[in-house]
Every structure is written in C-alpha cells, then in structure tokens.
Amino acid sequence: MAIVRQVIVHTQDGAPFESMIVAEEAGGERPGILLFPNVLGTKEADFAYAERVAALGHAVLVADVFGQGKRTSRSDPDMGRYMGELNADRAMMRDRVHAAHATLKALPQVDAGQTAAIGFCFGGKCVLDLARSGADIAGGVSFHGVYDAPPFPNARIAAKLLICHGWDDPIAPPDATVALARELTDAGCDWQIHAYGHAGHAFTDHAINMPDKGLAYNEDADRRSFRAMTNFLEELFG
C-alpha cells in the first residue's frame, strides 16, 4: 500500500504552523507518532524518516513547532534562531509540543488513544518536554537529544521513554546523561538509555560529517537505534 505525504496547516494562538502527515493511503485508524525535527525545522530528511516509521504501520505527523516559513539551513549564520526562541521560553515550548500532539490526535488516520513521539537533537528535547509535562503519550524516543530540564517542576511522567544516545556526544556529556537518568527516575518514569560507543551527536543525520567537533553520522548507531525504536513501538502498541 502506498505511503503518502500530506501538508497540514494548523494554528496556535492565531499563528500558522505547517506540518506534514505521512501515512499509508488507506487502512483506517492506527497508532500516531509525532516526529520532532532538529534545529533546522521540518525538511526532506524528516519526511523520509517518517516514511520508514509509517511503513511499520503508524501514521506520522512531522511537527512544525517553529511556525510556518520559519526554517533555516546549515549555511545560515544564525541557524539556531528559532530553536533559541523556544529554549529561552520553555513554557512556550511546552505549549507548542502539546499543540502538535493535539493536532496528531485529531487526524482521521490516528487512533487518539495510541500515540507516541520521536525526535532528533532539539526534537529529542521536545519529546522529553512533552513527557515531562504529563502528556498522555504512551511513549517517546529521543535520538541524540538535549537533556536539560525546564526551569519548573515536572509532572509525573507516565510515558515510557527510550533515550538513544551517542556516548561521545559533546552536547550531552556523561554527567548530563546521568542527570537525565536521575530526573526520570525521580519522576517515576519507565525509562531506558541505549548508549552507542564511538558515536557523537547527530548520529542519524547523513548530512553531518564533523567528527572533530563530535558531530557525525554513524551507520551502526543509526541502524541500532532504528531497531531499538521499532522494538519499543512494538512494545507500546503490539
């Protein structure tokens, strides 16, 4: 059955956001997955990854949390400006990820009682903040995410979490990873961390090759983390 892409424009606080639905063309309701992109916002690499997840039997919403038209590229001297706005206002970030989840649950392809989230780099932080704020997702997967907690208390984390982590990631060094484990334990979360040796930040990103800065694609970590995610989603949804 063909997997199709469909642009969806949704609003929050009167502002437009442009996301992408990726799912098999027919088949009725199925588990829904939010996919939160990295610092650049939604792009072809995210849509292609979403197709792989959709092929597992899910409907995927590649979620825009920056706003329609707010995208950057690696050649942009200020490529992190939209991410920076949300990092500076974690309450707004919490509201944006919750709005994306509400949009996912309202899709006709999605069983609103069976949802999860995955995210890459900054998108991994989005997954964590969605779970931290008590969203009714069954689970979340962070790939080479960013682990700093928001400056306000967590809700009890009901979602199961899988953290796929490059052990040599300079953005999330060992002390940050251990701090996340303590945080999730204190929040009552069912969590697991898969740490990949000799992998740094952005290990799923084919476009990254800066090993001297600890940022590079790693084929083994990419393959293993996709398998770990697949097993995790099977555990959540059968």
Do 60 and 33 form a contact (C-beta atoms < 8 A)?
A: yes
Tens digit of pLDDT for each residue in 15-58? 999 999 999 988 789 999 999 999 999 999 999 999 999 999 99
Do 148 and 127 form a contact (C-beta atoms < 8 A)?
A: no
The pLDDT score that the predictor gives to residue 71 is 97
Whether pLDDT at 125 is above 90: yes
DSSP H stretches of helix in the chain? 44-54, 81-87, 90-105, 122-132, 174-186, 219-237
Do 159 and 188 form a contact (C-beta atoms < 8 A)?
A: no
Percent pLDDT > 90 in the chain is 95
Query: 130: pLDDT confidence band, cut at 50, 70 and 90?
Result: very high
Query: 238: pLDDT confidence band, cut at 50, 70 and 90?
Result: confident
Whether pLDDT at 201 is above 80: yes
Percent pLDDT > 70 in the chain is 100
Q: What mean pLDDT comes out for the span 71-94? A: 96
Rounded to the nearest integer, the mean pLDDT of the chain is 96
List the structure tokens of 94: 């919490």
Do 181 and 97 form a contact (C-beta atoms < 8 A)?
A: no
Query: 107: pLDDT confidence band, cut at 50, 70 and 90?
Result: very high
Q: Which residue has the higher pLDDT, 122 or 12?
A: 122
Query: 155: pLDDT confidence band, cut at 50, 70 and 90?
Result: confident
Do 214 and 169 form a contact (C-beta atoms < 8 A)?
A: yes
Whether pLDDT at 165 is above 80: yes
The pLDDT score that the predictor gives to residue 193 is 98
Q: What mean pLDDT comes out for the span 175-193? A: 97
The pLDDT score that the predictor gives to residue 228 is 98
The pLDDT score that the predictor gives to residue 162 is 99
Could you give the angle at which helices 122-132 and 90-105 cross, rounded to 10 degrees?
Answer: 80
Q: Tell me which DSSP letter residue 183 carries.
A: H
Whether pLDDT at 144 is above 80: yes
Residues 6+ apart with CB under 8 A from 160: 138, 139, 140, 189, 190, 191, 232, 235, 236
Whether pLDDT at 13 is above 90: no
> Whole-angstrom Cα distance, residue 74 to residue 5?
25
